[in-house]
A and B are shown apart, each in its own frame.
Chain A
Amino acid sequence: EIVLTQSPGTLSLSPGERATLSCRASQSVSSSYLAWYQQKPGQAPRLLIYGASSRATGIPDRFSGSGSGTDFTLTISRLEPEDFAVYYCQQYGSSPFGGGTKVEIK
């Protein structure tokens, strides 16, 4: 079973700053099947990125994904107030999620 480890656990930043979130796999995974999700309090998760780097429908271009093998990154170029949330990675769509990274307002 491949384990996804996300870091940091919490990221404290100000609006307008750049956020860099990491998702590391215990074994190499296909970048074709690495996804990122955003979850806000009281809401269902929302798909942000699939295929490691493709934005889902309606996702602003300030969100970008990159990586391959065991190391993947979600970058938010300039944080907007609505971006403060928890972010999860998952591979292959039918497997455990990473533990999540909370992006909070500094």
Chain B
Amino acid sequence: QLQLQESGPGLVKPSETLSLTCTVSGGSISSSSYYWGWIRQPPGKGLEWIGSIYYSGSTYYNPSLKSRVTISVDTSKNQFSLKLSSVTAADTAVYYCASGVLRFLAMDVWGQGTTVTVSS
């Protein structure tokens, strides 16, 4: 059964780049059946989709974050990653990685989430 685990710094300074990794176990990140995504949730607010990457390498980003986001896959490590540049306090959130079934375009497996605080 597919499992996901986020990792990365819990504290990032303003103007720096936030970098998170999601390690996939129980399945291959190269599978053509899945796609991979990042979602965040600021304190007390709703879910915000950040972006997704497909096995073809295609990426889709939230227009509101597109200029600052990069999502990539490392097949050798069975991981995918998120980079968010020029962060501000507004980027403080719980960050989730998730996998979705391509056939249904719905995210059925989620990581537990990792809290990232942007502060000097």
Chain A positions near chain B (C-beta within 8 angstroms): 1, 32-33, 35, 37, 39, 44-47, 50-51, 54, 56-57, 86, 88, 90, 92-97, 99-100
Contacts and interface: CB of A to CB of B under 8 A. Distances in A.
Interface of B: 35, 37, 39, 46-49, 51-52, 60, 62-63, 96, 100-101, 104-108, 110-113
Nearest to B59: A94
Contacts, number: 73
10 contacts: A32-B104, A33-B104, A44-B111, A46-B110, A47-B108, A50-B104, A56-B108, A57-B108, A93-B105, A94-B100
Contact of B96 (A45, A47, A54): A45
B106 A47 contact: yes
A100 to B, nearest CB: 5
A100 B46 contact: yes
Contacts of A32: 104-105
Contacts of B37: 93-94
A91 to B, nearest CB: 8
A88 B47 contact: yes
